[in-house]
Structure 1
Amino acid sequence: MWYLNMNAVLAMVGMVLVLALTRRWPGNKRYLLLAFNLCFLLVFSQKLFVFYLVYTALNYVAFIALGRLQHLRKTTFVLLIAANVVAVCTLRMFGMEMFTHPLFDAIIVLGLIYNVLKVIDALYFAFFIGKESRASVLDYFNYILFIPTFTSGPILKFRDFMADTKQPYQVDAAQTKQYVKRIILGMFKKVVLVALMMDVFKNISGAEQLHVHESVFLMIWFYALIFFDFSGYSDIAVGFGRLMGYNIPENFKKPFQSPTLTQYWRNWHATLGDWFRDHIFMFVSRQTPTKWTAAGLSMLVMVLIGLWHGFSWLYVLWGVYHGLLLGLENILGYTTVNKRKVSKRYFYARCLLTQLFITAAVIVYSGDSHTVYKIYSGLINWSW
């Protein structure tokens, strides 16, 4: 969201310059970044600023308390996670106008579905590490409020972010050139390609009735559109994050060259899939699961990812669809394909099959039930 606002982009460019000019100060990355994160939110929205001060402070207290707790640790851990999930779900329902209240402002839900995942990751760290799970209030606030990844990820791991805070600011000229190019590429995707592709999508999908060739085209076109949209955002976030001295993880790892759905979800929006797999599997089954257990957990993970995207039956069905396919891969033992051990023809045929499965449901990401219904209806309309 920030990256379509020129003032926000200039503010981040200014922060990078300040960090570069103060690189001799060992604490520049930590103290200046906190000041930047807070000032940015305050200028953007006073309500958002106040909400996140309170939300982050409460969760920091919970993080510290959980790490020091001797008794009822697991119960407290579960209750803290449940409290965050319930709070976020409730606020999202207000944002979706399922609930209404005159005091509610939709701005406070900005970035919340990403930031609650970071909060929960920190709670996991405190629970499993215990007394050694230390983080200063300064570093915890920077972790939750990190502006480059605030609204749409990539999702930062608590352990990795804390490790980066201990490293001095070391971005050199070659890295600056590389990351600036990454930002420009992301801007081109977001501002140019996505805008043009969205116009085409709206023009064709706006027809009163669609035919099979139009529906197929729209499904493929929309798949490409959301790839450029989200990978473009990730490019910009990774570029700015690394220019600020933090190793932001990659979100897209050649997803179109994934021969199975299991491998695809490790390469498409990789940080989200990794988060759900790590936290669900870690909580439910810390041992290597059986094929049937893995299949059941895959269903659970995909339904949760669907609900994370939106509270609607469309996203639930999307989660069930992908959960069934992933479950079958686990049960039948088709979760991975080693490119070096199979022929190129077989490998790319499997990649194509995976993309067909993904394309069949990708239109759900539009979030518009009317558009989804119209496009699927067009698949059975063979008349010209």
Structure 2
Amino acid sequence: MSFAAPLFLWYFLPAVLLASWILPHRARNGVLAVFSLGFYAVGGKEFVLLLLALIAVNYAAGLAIGALPLRRRKAVVVATVLADLAVLAVWKYAGFASTAVSSIASSLGLGDTRVVSLALPIGISFFTFHHLSYVVDVYRGVRPPMRNPLTFVTYIAMFPQLVAGPIVRYHEIADQLNDARRDRLADFAEGFPRFAWGLFKKVAIADSLAPIADAAFASPDPSTSTAWIGALAYTGQIYFDFSGYSDMAIGLGMMFGLRLPENFARPYSAISVTDFWRRWHQSLSRWFRDYLYVPLGGNRGGTFRTYRNLSIVFLTTGLWHGAAWTFVIWGAFHGLLLIIERATGLGSSDRWAGPRRAITFLLVVFGWVLFRAESLPAAGRMLQAMVTPEGWSIAPDVAVLLSGHRILLLVLVLASTLLPATWVTGRVIDGLQDNTPVWARRSVRGIAVALAPYAGIVAVAGTFSPFLYFQF
């Protein structure tokens, strides 16, 4: 179920809010747990059983880790982590791996091998990472295990962040889950404008750019103009789609008295790729830093090991996003750029911010071509057209989509993402922070509430478009 779907907007959300307001404060976690499982069952169908099985395994593992002597805890956490990763590997990567094996066998003349095809459970990458952070945090002694199974179900299955994040680590939310004494009216008043702003970003901006990007990437022989239009349209689409989802998730969490972590901080205003990854999908970057990069040794142990660790992290980041060579190459591309910046010192320098911002933006755009393309040959055609003049005529279907308000929309999207970070162009786009002036917060929240009916009408009247990160 999408946050922008009429079923969610007009039925599910009012029902869960009404239940949480009518029932006592202490029933909040139970309400969220029951409605969240129903939310997942609508889109995930029978995969809700897989989710419940993983919840049961990790809940039991947490209790075991908390109860066992220190020398035996490691075996439990290793077994649980391997079990979680095995489920993720089977459901998400078995098809990719079997296809690669089949291609190699065919090229060696060994005949065709069987290719596995499994339906991908919605949000499996996200709830797997939630489970991993839980058992690791308990093992490290950062937080004690959850005793109440209903609270644990709420943490893992909480519908605002279940299928596309933000990735909420256990220690970030454990205290909040045990504290349900909130002013529910004040929570709603704070969360609804954030939700409305995210809905507007999704249905009015991202979904308007999506047809342009789709048409350009579908072109079998794109011209230079078509390729650049498609790449820039997708650059705007993925940002406003995912940041819109994150705003909606954070706003929904606020409505129930929960503060989810921020996920974006003007990523397209970054002055280096290193800076970009501090700003883009922040919850994922922090997760990989704390649960993979640092355990591998981080930047300790010399230059070679640091570069090795960065390479592993970004190859894993690419694979986490999708089981395809395009994602692997995209991850390797960003990893290579970070290594170059670390070697040259550009990753930690703030000199020449203007030119470097433009160069970083272009590098990110090239990376998004790899991310969006259906295959490596398709990505190659787009990138070749972008760097070598191959005609300036725009494909007819792309030209039609660019007519009218969409040209202005594309200009506004690029302007809003490239301008320097001020509260007007920054905090409004990526969510107001606590240090924003009171008058500014009130003004922007008022505008967001005013936009809510328009966004709701667009959502009902438009063609259903799932969030891009649902596929991960």
TM-score range, shorter chain: 0.7 to 0.9
Q: How does 1:151-162 map to 2 (within 5 A)?
A: 151-162=163-174
Residues 133 and 202 of structure 1: is their aligned pair in 2 closer, same or farther, counting only changes over 3 Å?
closer
2:346 matched to 1:334?
yes
- Name the residue aligned to 1:61: 60
Q: With structure 1 as the length reference, what TM-score do the two structures score?
A: 0.87
2:16 matched to 1:12?
no
- Name the residue aligned to 1:376: 383
In the aligned structure 2, how far is the partner of 1:287 from the partner of 1:316? 23
In the aligned structure 1, how far is the partner of 2:216 from the partner of 2:167? 34
Query: Which stretch has the larger CA shift, 119-128 or 4-13?
Result: 4-13
Query: Which stretch has the larger CA shift, 211-220 or 71-80?
Result: 71-80
- Name the residue aligned to 1:222: 234
Residues 268-323 of structure 1: per-residue CA shift (max 9 Å, x gap): 01111111111013322278564443332211111001001112222111111111
The structure 1 residue matched to 2:201, chosen from 182, 189, 196, is: 189
In the aligned structure 2, how far is the partner of 1:287 from the partner of 1:152? 30
- Name the residue aligned to 2:48: 49
In the aligned structure 2, how far is the partner of 1:261 from the partner of 1:240? 31
C-alpha deviation, 1:171, in angstroms: 4.3
- Name the residue aligned to 2:366: 360
Contact 2:370 / 2:379 at 8 angstroms: preserved in 1?
yes
Residues 30-86 of structure 1: per-residue CA shift (max 9 Å, x gap): 222222223434455551332222221112112222233323433442332122112
In the aligned structure 2, how far is the partner of 1:184 from the partner of 1:130? 35
Residues 216 and 20 of structure 1: is their aligned pair in 2 closer, same or farther, counting only changes over 3 Å?
same
Three-state SS of the structure 2 residue aligned to 1:19 is helix
Identify unmatched segments of 5+ residues in structure 1: none
Contact 1:29 / 1:169 at 8 angstroms: preserved in 2?
no
Residue identity in the other structure for 1:56:
I
Identity of aligned residues (%): 23
Q: Number of residues paired by the alignment? A: 372
Residues 367 and 360 of structure 1: is their aligned pair in 2 closer, same or farther, counting only changes over 3 Å?
closer
- Name the residue aligned to 2:308: 296
- Name the residue aligned to 2:27: 28
Residues 223 and 135 of structure 1: is their aligned pair in 2 closer, same or farther, counting only changes over 3 Å?
farther
In the aligned structure 1, how far is the partner of 2:379 from the partner of 2:183? 45
Q: With structure 2 as the length reference, what TM-score do the two structures score?
A: 0.72
Identify unmatched segments of 5+ residues in structure 2: 100-114, 393-472
Contact 2:269 / 2:357 at 8 angstroms: preserved in 1?
yes
Contact 2:166 / 2:283 at 8 angstroms: preserved in 1?
yes
Query: Which stretch has the larger CA shift, 296-305 or 31-40?
Result: 31-40
In the aligned structure 2, how far is the partner of 1:365 from the partner of 1:142? 32
C-alpha deviation, 1:113, in angstroms: 0.8
C-alpha deviation, 1:145, in angstroms: 0.6
Residue identity in the other structure for 1:33:
L
In the aligned structure 2, how far is the partner of 1:378 from the partner of 1:184? 38
Residue identity in the other structure for 1:297:
N
Q: How does 1:74-85 map to 2 (within 5 A)?
A: 74-85=74-85
C-alpha deviation, 1:151, in angstroms: 1.0
- Name the residue aligned to 1:200: 212
Residues 321 and 69 of structure 1: is their aligned pair in 2 closer, same or farther, counting only changes over 3 Å?
same
In the aligned structure 2, how far is the partner of 1:253 from the partner of 1:131? 28
Three-state SS of the structure 2 residue aligned to 1:335 is helix
Q: How does 1:102-251 map to 2 (within 5 A)?
A: 106=119, 109-129=121-141, 132-171=144-183, 173=185, 175-251=187-263
Contact 1:263 / 1:335 at 8 angstroms: preserved in 2?
yes
Residues 276 and 167 of structure 1: is their aligned pair in 2 closer, same or farther, counting only changes over 3 Å?
same
The structure 2 residue matched to 1:349, chosen from 345, 355, 362, is: 355
Three-state SS of the structure 1 residue aligned to 2:14 is helix
Residue identity in the other structure for 1:375:
M
Residues 367 and 136 of structure 1: is their aligned pair in 2 closer, same or farther, counting only changes over 3 Å?
farther
Contact 2:213 / 2:229 at 8 angstroms: preserved in 1?
no
Contact 1:250 / 1:270 at 8 angstroms: preserved in 2?
yes
Three-state SS of the structure 2 residue aligned to 1:2 is coil
Residue identity in the other structure for 1:79:
A
Contact 2:270 / 2:357 at 8 angstroms: preserved in 1?
yes
- Name the residue aligned to 1:253: 265
- Name the residue aligned to 2:451: none
In the aligned structure 2, how far is the partner of 1:113 from the partner of 1:266? 20
Contact 1:186 / 1:233 at 8 angstroms: preserved in 2?
yes
Residues 90 and 232 of structure 1: is their aligned pair in 2 closer, same or farther, counting only changes over 3 Å?
same
In the aligned structure 2, how far is the partner of 1:93 from the partner of 1:288? 31
In the aligned structure 2, how far is the partner of 1:144 from the partner of 1:306? 24
Contact 1:238 / 1:249 at 8 angstroms: preserved in 2?
yes
Residues 289 and 358 of structure 1: is their aligned pair in 2 closer, same or farther, counting only changes over 3 Å?
farther
C-alpha deviation, 1:251, in angstroms: 0.9
Contact 2:126 / 2:167 at 8 angstroms: preserved in 1?
yes
In the aligned structure 1, how far is the partner of 2:313 from the partner of 2:89? 17
In the aligned structure 2, how far is the partner of 1:50 from the partner of 1:351? 46
Residues 225 and 45 of structure 1: is their aligned pair in 2 closer, same or farther, counting only changes over 3 Å?
closer
